[in-house]
Structure 1
Amino acid sequence: MVHAFLIHTLRAPNLEDTGLCRVLYSCVFGAEKSPDDPRPHGAERDRLFRKEQILAVARQVESLCRLQQQASGCSSTDPQPQFSAESVSLHEAPHGAFHLAAGDPFQEPQTVLWLGVLSLGFTLVLDTHENLLLAERTLRLLARLLLDHLRLLTPGTNFLLRADRIEGILTRFLPHGQLLFLNDQFVQDLEKEFSAAWPR
């Protein structure tokens, strides 16, 4: 099962720190209670705890993405390149996976799968026993759909105004955090259904 999906910022690898990593959107499937603590747990406390967990993952992904780009000799100096979604090749985008030990930051061990597309990071947090090939295919599919339908790389894109569309895509292609085996025809049918419900 996928525990979380997030979209966050990525900084160019050879720039000085120009800002903090920001989580632009996150969806948590299932709730993990905050660690054993004698104080009563409230909804607000659990929400803040989840927010801290998600931000910790986003920061680790950003660090790994920057290291990978530096190692490959990436020379981009513009943190917000102006490309259309059509010009982005997801197959050439930096990507990777890593494991999180229990307690760092989740109670159970997790696997994190990430994909960096220019200034955006797309990340899945999932159970360690999940099929990584299926998870990678799902992550690339989600990234493509989000870039195509929401034009996320367009300057001035407001994620808050598009949260319902992001949720619409997740509901169809990652329902309740379940990875789906989807053939191309079924993906096309779901895309048509989404396009009809949410015209561009």
Structure 2
Amino acid sequence: MVRCFLINTVCPVSALGAGESRVLYCRVFGPDESIFTDQNRELSPEERRVLQREKIAVVARQVRSAVSLSREAAGRLLVEAVPGEEALALQEADSGVLRLRAGDPFPEEMSALWLGVQSLGFTLVCEPHENLLLAEGTLRTLTRHCLEQLHMLGQGSEVLLRSNRIDALLSRLLPHGQLLFLNHRFAQSLEKEVSAYMAK
């Protein structure tokens, strides 16, 4: 099962410090086990939300670091893509997998698959027994739809204002956090459904 999907900044943003990352969108699937631990039972709902935001921020910082290291190791310079070149930007995206040890930040071990496209990082946090190839395919499909349909690479793109569209994508491509095995015919019908919804 996928535990969460998040979109965050992976390049310096003027309003943030040098090593910081801003979470632009996050969707958590399933129950949060940290709520049920003995030390967190007496937390108020607001304190639980703050704790969850802190966990997501830890993942975002780790992804930002991984993207930066990957780009430095490859010797790539960040070249801004113009609107309409989303497919090319996705092909040139940096990608990788992080192992999140138990307690850092989730109670049990997790795997985080990430794609660094321009200044954005797209991440799926999965349970360790998940099929990582299937998760990578799902992440690439989600990222492609976000880039093409929501025009996230353009100047002034407001990811926060388009969260309902990202929610709709997730409900179709990743229902309740479950990875879907897609045959060609089902994938085509899903593509048509998503495109029709995004055209509204």
TM-score (norm. length: structure 1): 0.89
Q: Number of paired residues? A: 193
Q: Kindly provide the CA deviation profile for residues 13-44 of structure 1, in whole angstroms up to 9, marking residues without a partner as x.
A: xxxx6572100000000132345327712211
- Higher helix fraction (1 or 2): 2
TM-score, scaled relative to structure 2: 0.89
* Residue in 2 that maps onto 1:168: 168
Match of 1:84 in 2: 83
Q: Tell me which residue corresponds to 1:8.
A: 8
Task: Tell me, yes or no, if structure 1 residue 178 matches structure 2 residue 178.
Answer: yes
Name which of structure 1's ranges 112-121 and 92-101 shifts more when overlaid on structure 2: 92-101
Given that 1:85 and 1:153 are in contact with CA atoms closer than 8 Å, whether structure 2 keeps it comes out as no
Query: What residue in structure 2 maps to residue 67 of structure 1?
Result: 69
The match for 1:37 is: 39
CA distance in 1: counterparts of 2:84 and 2:47, whole angstroms: 38
Q: Secondary structure at the match of 1:108?
A: coil
The amino acid of 2:25's aligned partner reads Y
1: distance between equivalents of 2:53 and 2:21? 13
Displacement after TM superposition at 1:62 (Å) = 0.6
Match of 1:133 in 2: 133
CA 85–176 in structure 1, closer or farther in 2 if over 3 Å, else same: farther
CA distance in 2, matches of 1:130, 1:5: 15
Q: CA deviation digits over 1:41-88, x for unaligned, max 9?
A: 221111111111111001001101101110111123x6xx24225343
**Structure-2 residue corresponding to 1:148:** 148
User: Which residue identity does 1:36 align to in structure 2?
Assistant: D
Unaligned regions of 5+ residues in structure 2, if any? none
Q: Equivalent pairs: percent with the same residue?
A: 49
* Whole-Å separation in 1 of the counterparts to 2:139 and 2:199: 23
Distance in 1 (alpha carbons) for counterparts of 2:133 and 2:19:
33
- Structure 1 residues 74 and 44, CA, compared in 2 at 3 Å: closer, same or farther? same
Worse overlay, 102-111 or 41-50: 41-50
State the secondary structure of the residue aligned to 1:37: helix
Unaligned segments of structure 1, at least 5 residues: none
- Which letter does structure 2 place at the counterpart of 1:67? L
Can you list the C-alpha shifts for 1:140-165, whole angstroms capped at 9, x where unaligned? 01100111111111111112220110
Q: Which amino acid in 1 is paired with 2:74?
A: S
Cα distance in 2 for residues equivalent to 1:58 and 1:182 = 28
Which position in structure 2 is the counterpart of 1:114? 114
RMSD: 1.9
